[in-house]
């Protein structure tokens, strides 16, 4: 299984997960349909579906375009149908709500090829614990470092109540890590972030056996099978 970063941050978020059989699940659609199609090499017939976390355009920009193409999109923030789980070909997906400064926002728990992933972005904190799920890969926002932001930022309240700090991210990884954890991919770095420091401090929580990096456009990472 493979994860590809197409875009991350306030200029637009989209990731592609490729299952071992070559099916694609898109995580957020915050770039133009053209950019996303190009990034996946125009393999539109391999798209099993997409999930969208919330209404902000850096996550939902091309939602309508993909729906018009006939792509099945799980967007629980728009639906009042109580559906909390969906199957998209190889991908089993379950959603859970995350606080984003008053905007309805969801994180996703995904099972594919015997691997368990979390995709979480644009959240102040996570009210749930996933220790029992033995998560293998965390795709998680690490937006800012508290003391690098200061107190004078114009949209400080939105940043603090809507985005995940390094401290919060570390706390989540600490609370949810098990010996099954293989990857922590940091997402949506914003004003007041420092990639090297974030990677270093998260690695101090995970230990050496876990791959930790910050997402960059065009980056592809093999998500290896857990050997246990
Ligand atoms: Zn965002
Ligand atoms: Zn947002």
Dist CA 202 CA 193 (whole Å): 13
Dist CA 44 CA 42 (whole Å): 5
Write down the pLDDT at residue 80. Answer: 81
Tokens 């053209």 sit at which residue?
A: 34
Question: What's 173's DSSP letter?
Answer: H
Q: Which residues of the chain carry a pLDDT beneath 50?
A: none
SS3 228: coil
> How far does the centroid of ligand 2 lie from the alpha carbon of residue 11, in Å?
11
Residue 226 placed within a domain:
no
> How far does the centroid of ligand 1 lie from the alpha carbon of residue 85, in Å?
23
Read out DSSP for 5-73?
EEE-STT--EEEEE-TTS-EEEE---S-HHHHHHHTTT-GGGEEEEE---SSHHHHTTHHHHHHTT--E
Residue 124 placed within a domain:
yes
Which one of the ligands is nearest to 59 CA? 1
Give the count of domains, the chain. 1
Write down the pLDDT at residue 91. Answer: 98
> How far does the centroid of ligand 1 lie from the alpha carbon of residue 104, in Å?
12
Q: Note whether 106 and 98 are within 8 A (CB).
A: yes
Q: Which domain holds residue 193?
A: 2-218
Residue 225 placed within a domain:
no
Write down the pLDDT at residue 144. Answer: 97
Q: Which of 182, 47, 72 is nearest to 117 (CA)?
A: 182
Write down the pLDDT at residue 164. Answer: 98
pTM for this prediction: 0.97
**Ligand 1 being an ion, which residues bring their Cβ within 5 A of it?**
58, 122
Residue 162 placed within a domain:
yes
Gyration radius from the chain CA atoms: 16
Residue 205 placed within a domain:
yes
> How far does the centroid of ligand 1 lie from the alpha carbon of residue 26, in Å?
16
Residue 13 placed within a domain:
yes
CATH of the domain at 170: 3.60.15.10
> How far does the centroid of ligand 1 lie from the alpha carbon of residue 90, in Å?
27
Write down the pLDDT at residue 226. Answer: 59
Residue 228 placed within a domain:
no
Which one of the ligands is nearest to 102 CA? 2
Write down the pLDDT at residue 227. Answer: 54
Write down the pLDDT at residue 75. Answer: 97
> How far does the centroid of ligand 2 lie from the alpha carbon of residue 125, in Å?
14
Residue 177 placed within a domain:
yes
Give 174-190 pLDDT, tens digit per residue.
999 999 999 999 999 99
Dist CA 62 CA 108 (whole Å): 19
């Amino acid at each position: 299984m493979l994860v590809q970063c197409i875009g991350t941050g306030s200029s637009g978020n989209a990731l592609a997960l490729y299952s071992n059989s070559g099916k694609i699940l898109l995580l957020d659609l915050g770039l133009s349909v053209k950019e996303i199609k190009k990034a996946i090499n125009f393999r539109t017939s391999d798209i099993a579906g997409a999930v969208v976390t919330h209404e902000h355009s850096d996550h939902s920009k091309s939602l309508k375009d993909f729906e018009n193409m006939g792509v099945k999109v799980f967007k629980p923030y728009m639906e009042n149908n109580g559906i909390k789980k969906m199957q998209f070909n190889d991908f089993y997906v379950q959603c859970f709500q995350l606080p984003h400064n008053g905007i309805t926002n969801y994180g996703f728990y995904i099972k594919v090829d015997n691997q368990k992933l979390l995709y979480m972005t644009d959240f102040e904190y996570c009210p749930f614990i996933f220790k029992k799920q033995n998560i293998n890969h965390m795709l998680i926002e690490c937006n800012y470092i508290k003391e690098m932001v200061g107190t004078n930022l114009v949209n400080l309240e939105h940043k603090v109540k809507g985005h995940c700090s390094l401290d919060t991210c570390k706390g989540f990884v600490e609370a949810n890590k098990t010996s099954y954890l293989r990857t922590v991919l940091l997402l949506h770095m914003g004003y007041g972030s420092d990639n090297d420091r974030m990677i270093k401090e998260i690695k101090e929580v995970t230990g050496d056996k876990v791959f930790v990096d910050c997402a960059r456009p065009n980056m592809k990472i093999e998500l290896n099978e857990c050997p246990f």
